[in-house]
């Protein structure tokens, strides 16, 4: 089990995919997300990682917080969050996790606080249809209606959907797909919406109901690692393109040579067929062959007649 990350919601937009379809996406920013503390099974009874995101101003930090950050030798952070991980996915203190922690196409779960709506009625809060707009209904058109039974049980059951405070609750949206990621700017583009308003905090984790891809970075995607991998990929792509170009040039040369040879052969055949001398020679040779064959036939007949007379 890998660690999650802390992000801020920037807003929503849309991206165009390779096939031309546009997808609504939520833009999330990861800013200076560092490892602050590790907890182990031997010392604490469970294994976890504490992350901190975005540097805080000195005036907004209390004395206990200053002592804590000075002890771990990390700049003060605004948001702290603890993530449960496996023993093999512990990370040393001070390491910074980037947007390359999640790969394109991966599914994640986003947890945040929904937008507060204040006191709301049953129609807005629970999507009730309300009562009739006329004919017997007075003053209670948007009411939720009856709330219980008669004297037995004589009370309203716990959890009954009624009017009340709406929003400002922690909610998790599962199986959100990562459409794109920009590690240079620390941005992740997720398909669909996430809870919270612009600027609100979110925690992102690997999806519980989906398998983690094999090419996902373990134990985490650290800032700066993707640049080297991208350079290596670009160099390999360039070398492959050069090899493809050389092979294409060689094949084109061979094809041109073959076409030239075929054209020469066809032109020589046409010249031979069109020349009158060749036609005359061919006709004379054919006539000579015919005369020779006729003479041979006559000689055969004479020999046969002579042999018959001798027998008589």
- The model's pLDDT over 173-218, given as tens digits with 9 standing for 90+, comes to 999 999 999 988 999 999 999 999 999 999 999 999 999 998 888 8
Contact criterion met (CB below 8 Å) for 34 and 233: no
Judgement on whether residues 284 and 253 belong to the same structural domain of the protein: no
Residue 136 in any domain: the answer is: no
Q: Which residues of 192-213 are buried (b: 16+ CB within 10 A; e: fewer)?
A: eebbbeeeebbbbbbbeeeebe
Residue 216 in any domain: the answer is: yes
Contact criterion met (CB below 8 Å) for 200 and 122: no
Residue 172 in any domain: the answer is: yes
Contact criterion met (CB below 8 Å) for 114 and 200: no
On the question of pLDDT at 232 being above 50, the answer is no
Judgement on whether residues 199 and 231 belong to the same structural domain of the protein: no
Residue 307 in any domain: the answer is: yes
Judgement on whether residues 186 and 286 belong to the same structural domain of the protein: no
Judgement on whether residues 85 and 205 belong to the same structural domain of the protein: yes
- Unique residue bearing structure tokens 């919406």: 193
Write out pLDDT tens, residues 80-123.
999 999 988 898 888 899 999 999 999 999 999 999 999 999 99
Backbone phi, psi, residue 199, to 5°: 90, 0
Residue 156 in any domain: the answer is: no
Judgement on whether residues 266 and 290 belong to the same structural domain of the protein: no
Judgement on whether residues 209 and 74 belong to the same structural domain of the protein: yes
CB count, 10 Å around CB of 53? Answer: 23
Judgement on whether residues 98 and 78 belong to the same structural domain of the protein: yes
Contacts of 3 (CB under 8 A, 6+ apart): 49, 51, 83, 85, 89, 91, 97, 219, 220
Structure tokens at 241: 């393109």
Range of the domain at 45: 5-116+167-222
Residue 18 in any domain: the answer is: yes
Residue 200 in any domain: the answer is: yes
Write out pLDDT tens, residues 132-175.
999 999 999 999 999 988 888 999 999 999 999 999 999 999 99
CB count, 10 Å around CB of 264? Answer: 10
pTM of the model: 0.67
Judgement on whether residues 303 and 213 belong to the same structural domain of the protein: no
Judgement on whether residues 197 and 283 belong to the same structural domain of the protein: no
Judgement on whether residues 102 and 247 belong to the same structural domain of the protein: no
Domain total for the chain? Answer: 3
194 vs 301, more confident = 194
Give the C-alpha separation, 33 to 203, whole Å: 11
| Nearest alpha carbon to residue 104 among 177, 23, 12 | 177
CATH of the domain at 91: 2.40.30.10
Give the C-alpha separation, 187 to 137, whole Å: 53
């Amino acid at each position: 089990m890998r660690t999650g990350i802390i992000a801020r919601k920037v807003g929503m937009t849309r991206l165009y995919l390779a096939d031309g379809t546009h997808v609504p996406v939520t833009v999330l920013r990861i800013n200076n997300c560092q490892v602050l503390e590790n907890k182990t099974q031997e010392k604490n009874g469970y294994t976890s990682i504490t992350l901190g995101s975005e540097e805080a101003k000195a005036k907004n930090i209390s004395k206990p917080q200053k002592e804590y950050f000075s002890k771990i030798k990390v700049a003060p952070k605004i948001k702290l969050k603890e993530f449960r991980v496996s023993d093999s996915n512990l990370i040393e203190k001070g390491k910074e996790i980037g947007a390359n922690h999640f790969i394109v196409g991966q599914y994640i779960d986003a947890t945040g606080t929904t937008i507060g709506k204040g006191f709301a009625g049953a129609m807005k809060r629970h999507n009730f249809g309300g009562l009739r707009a006329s004919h017997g209904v007075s003053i209670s058109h948007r009411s939720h209606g009856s709330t219980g039974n008669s004297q037995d049980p004589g009370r309203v059951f716990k959890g009954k959907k009624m009017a009340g405070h709406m929003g400002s609750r922690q909610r998790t949206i599962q199986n959100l797909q990562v459409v794109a990621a920009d590690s240079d700017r620390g941005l992740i583009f997720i398909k669909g919406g996430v809870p919270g308003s612009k600027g609100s905090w979110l925690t992102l984790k690997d999806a519980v109901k989906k398998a983690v891809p094999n090419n996902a970075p373990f134990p985490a995607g650290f800032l700066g690692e993707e640049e080297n991998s991208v350079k290596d990929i670009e160099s390999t792509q360039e070398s492959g393109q050069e090899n493809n170009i050389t092979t294409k040039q060689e094949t084109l040369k061979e094809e041109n040579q073959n076409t030239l040879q075929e054209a020469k052969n066809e032109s020589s055949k046409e010249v031979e067929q069109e020349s009158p001398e060749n036609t005359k020679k061919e006709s004379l040779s054919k006539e000579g062959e015919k005369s020779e064959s006729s003479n041979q036939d006559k000689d055969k007949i004479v020999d046969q007649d002579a042999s018959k007379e001798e027998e008589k």
